């Protein structure tokens, strides 16, 4: 967690000890940790140090603290929403900080997204198909900003992965899709390219409706290739400016 060259601080050590206990299942959801004063005594450190350790754990949503009598630090139930938020933050930063080519990121994202098509075609619901159509309508709005277009694009793809009816799958794929958003926001979508993308979105919905996995896969592959082309255009424009 911390630079291995510097010896870990006391607060880091205490946080690690508690984190290990949680991951190993020695502390269960809902359990209450000892009070900060007790923890301080147990570990032979000051309360301030214990508090720093607890804040580290809170940042990972491992614990939640409540004030007042019989308050304290409780082992948190990690919800899908919290887990997804963390995964998106981590993945977004990873993509932003590692000079990853747009093409590699895109290739990974669409490879992952294709993993849901078979289940999605099998299990898609009318409600989710309606959501996807509604997002397509949004994307067709005139004078839509590029950011809004991207946001709707993300919502469309999240609905697509949700069609697979597997929360765990949705969690992983949502991380992969949303982490791409900052990269996608670099692209300026012309009316021409928007029309192209919307057509492919229509093909995806239609394919899901007919439970035609192959046609969904084809549309996604075309979308991937087209997105990479758009990305390369942007990069070329940047290089020559």
Partner DNA sequence: GACGATATGAATGTCAGACAATTAAATGTC
Partner DNA sequence: GACATTTAATTGTCTGACATTCATATCGTC
**E-only strand ranges, the chain:** 63-66, 72-75
Q: Which stretch binds its own copies (CB under 8 A): 116-124, 135-143, 200-208, 226-234?
A: 116-124
Q: Which stretch binds DNA (CB under 7 A): 30-38, 152-160, 211-219, 223-231?
A: 30-38
Q: Which stretch binds DNA (CB under 7 A): 37-45, 112-120, 145-153, 160-168?
A: 37-45
Q: Which residues, numbered 132-191, are part of the site for its own copies (CB under 8 A)?
A: 164, 166-169, 171-173, 175-176
Q: Least distance to its own copies from the beta carbon of 142, Å?
A: 28
By the 8 A CB rule, do 11 and 56 touch? yes
**Residue 77: how many CA atoms within 13 Å on its side-chain side?**
3
Q: Count CB-CB contacts under 10 A for residue 83.
A: 14
Nearest Cα neighbor of 107 from 215, 239, 232 is 232
By the 8 A CB rule, do 133 and 202 touch? no
The tokens describing 220, both together, are 């996604």
Q: Which residues, numbered 44-73, are part of the site for DNA (CB under 7 A)?
A: 44-49, 51-52, 54, 65-73
The tokens describing 72, both together, are 């304290």
Q: Least distance to DNA from the beta carbon of 28, Å?
A: 18
Distance CA 47, CA 36 (A): 6
Distance CA 105, CA 183 (A): 9
The secondary structure of residue 72, as a DSSP letter, is: E
Distance CA 221, CA 117 (A): 12
Using CB under 7 A, pick the residue from 36, 153, 178, 224 that binds DNA: 36
26 binds its own copies (CB under 8 A): no
Q: Which residues, numbered 71-110, are part of the site for DNA (CB under 7 A)?
A: 71-73
Q: Which stretch binds its own copies (CB under 8 A): 71-79, 150-158, 190-198, 222-230?
A: 71-79
User: For binding to its own copies (CB under 8 A), which residues are involved?
Assistant: 1-3, 6, 11-12, 15, 19, 22-23, 25, 29, 48, 51-53, 55-62, 64, 66-67, 77-80, 82-83, 85-87, 89-98, 100, 104-105, 107-109, 111-116, 118-119, 164, 166-169, 171-173, 175-176
């Amino acid at each position: 967690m911390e630079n291995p060259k510097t010896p870990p601080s006391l607060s880091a050590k205490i946080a690690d000890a508690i984190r290990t206990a949680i991951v190993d299942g020695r502390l269960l959801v809902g359990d209450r940790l000892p009070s900060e004063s007790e923890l301080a005594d147990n570990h032979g450190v000051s309360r301030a140090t214990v508090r720093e350790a607890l804040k580290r754990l809170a940042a990972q949503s491992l614990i939640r603290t409540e004030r007042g009598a019989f308050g304290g630090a409780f082992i948190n139930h990690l919800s899908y929403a919290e887990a997804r938020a963390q995964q998106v933050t981590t993945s977004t930063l990873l993509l932003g900080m590692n000079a990853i080519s747009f093409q590699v990121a895109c290739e990974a994202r669409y490879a992952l997204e294709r993993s849901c098509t078979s289940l999605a075609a099998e299990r898609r619901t009318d409600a989710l198909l309606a959501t996807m159509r509604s997002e397509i309508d949004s994307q067709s709005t005139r004078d839509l900003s590029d950011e809004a277009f991207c946001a709707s694009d993300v919502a469309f793809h999240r609905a697509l992965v949700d069609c697979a009816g597997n929360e765990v799958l949705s969690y992983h794929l949502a991380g992969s899709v949303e982490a791409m958003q900052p990269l996608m926001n670099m692209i300026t979508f012309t009316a021409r390219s928007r029309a192209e993308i919307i057509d492919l979105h229509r093909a995806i919905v239609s394919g899901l409706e007919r439970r035609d996995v192959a046609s969904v896969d084809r549309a996604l592959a075309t979308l991937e290739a087209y997105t990479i082309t758009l990305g390369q255009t942007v990069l070329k424009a940047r290089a020559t400016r």
